[in-house]
Amino acid sequence: MTSRRAALLAVIAPLVLAGCQLPSFGAYHGITKGGTQSYELWQGFSVIAAVVGGGTFLLILWAALRYRRRGDTIPRQTQYNVPLEVIYTIVPILIVIGLFAATVVVENQVLSEPTPKATVNITAFQWGWKFVYPGENVVVIGQTTQNPTMVVPEGVNVKMNLVSSDVVHGFYVPALNFSRFAQPGLNNTFTFNFDKTGTFKGQCTQLCGLYHSLMYFQLQVVTPTQYRTWLKANALTPAQAAAAAAASANQINAGIPVKPAQTSYGVN
């Protein structure tokens, strides 16, 4: 077991170490341990993609330009070169095994669910989000133009339970390097430990009907003290909280105008 773990580390260590000096290749740096490791994995994949893809691209160009037609002689009719073919079968297999090993290590970090200190129950609906803080009597609901904000504490394990009350939605915060489907009848859980405070944009990624484009929310990471203060300031009575938490999408939509204010966006 230890030797296997050592082998995995040997594969991923160069990727992670190299990650410190590498460009971002377009990805977010992540605001959790898993998100940061995903970012480093992204960098590692990008280096290999650049080397393999770039090399292959140059080979294609070279073959097409260097061997352009220069006369009518018929070239040597070579059809096989078995050692060469074996090499370009074996080498990609080895690369793939390396990529897979690194993938598994990062995946285990991203999906690890240590004991949580805080919990948020997320319900996605057409077309908005409901964030329920169980035991705290806090419920945040918002849709389309009234984007809700999910407030979470920094530096502790925050567990999220994600479900949809109607069609499939996608819970996605780009800065987190994470997304997950919100599905009807299927509860999904994941745990974050945020290492950065700030407000981050989130949105629905999975087509969910007419106002899919406007299904935004914000993720606000605050210090644990600020989090406690925020919870106290927004606490409802237990009865109110229970009613809000149980409200169906239809009831929510009955309370808030379904059609977003930005009708100039072409809503018909």
Under rule CB under 8 A, which residues in 13-42 are in contact with another protein? 26-28, 34, 37-38, 41-42
- Segment interacting with another protein (CB under 8 A) among 112-120, 161-169, 220-228, 236-244: 161-169
> Sheet harboring 138-143: ordered strands across?
138-143, 128-133, 118-125, 157-164, 188-193
- Residue 103 or 226 having the CB closest to another protein: 103
State the Cα–Cα distance between residues 39 and 56, nearest whole angstrom: 25
**Does residue 249 come out as left (phi exceeding 0), alpha (psi in the -120 to 50 range) or beta?**
alpha
The minimum distance between CB 59 and another protein, in angstroms, equals 5
Under rule CB under 8 A, which residues in 58-77 are in contact with another protein? 59-60, 63-64, 67-71, 73-77
Mask for 96-115, x = binds another protein (CB under 8 A): x--xx--xx-xx--xx----
The minimum distance between CB 208 and another protein, in angstroms, equals 7
If one asks whether residue 157 binds another protein (CB under 8 A), the answer comes out as no
**32, amino acid identity:** T
Which tokens in the block code for residue 6? 């050592």
The minimum distance between CB 149 and another protein, in angstroms, equals 13
Among 6, 13, 53, 246, binds another protein (CB under 8 A): 53
Among 131, 178, 194, 227, binds another protein (CB under 8 A): 178
The minimum distance between CB 195 and another protein, in angstroms, equals 17
Three-state secondary-structure class, residue 189: strand
Under rule CB under 8 A, which residues in 203-262 are in contact with another protein? 203-214, 216, 262
- Residue 123 or 203 having the CB closest to another protein: 203
**241, amino acid identity:** A
The minimum distance between CB 50 and another protein, in angstroms, equals 9
- Residue 146 or 229 having the CB closest to another protein: 146
- Residue 86 or 224 having the CB closest to another protein: 86
The minimum distance between CB 234 and another protein, in angstroms, equals 24
E strand or H helix at 100, and its extent? helix 82-111
Q: Indicate the Cα dihedral angle 251, 256, 261, 266, nearest 10°.
A: 10
Query: 168 — phi, psi (to 5°)?
Result: -75, 130
If one asks whether residue 188 binds another protein (CB under 8 A), the answer comes out as yes
Count of chain residues binding another protein (CB under 8 A): 86
Give 216's strand partners: 203
Long-range Cβ contact pairs of 109-112 (< 8 A, separation 24 or more): 109/33, 109/34, 109/37, 110/34, 110/35, 110/37, 110/38, 110/178, 111/34, 111/190, 112/34, 112/191
**Does residue 140 come out as left (phi exceeding 0), alpha (psi in the -120 to 50 range) or beta?**
beta
If one asks whether residue 264 binds another protein (CB under 8 A), the answer comes out as yes
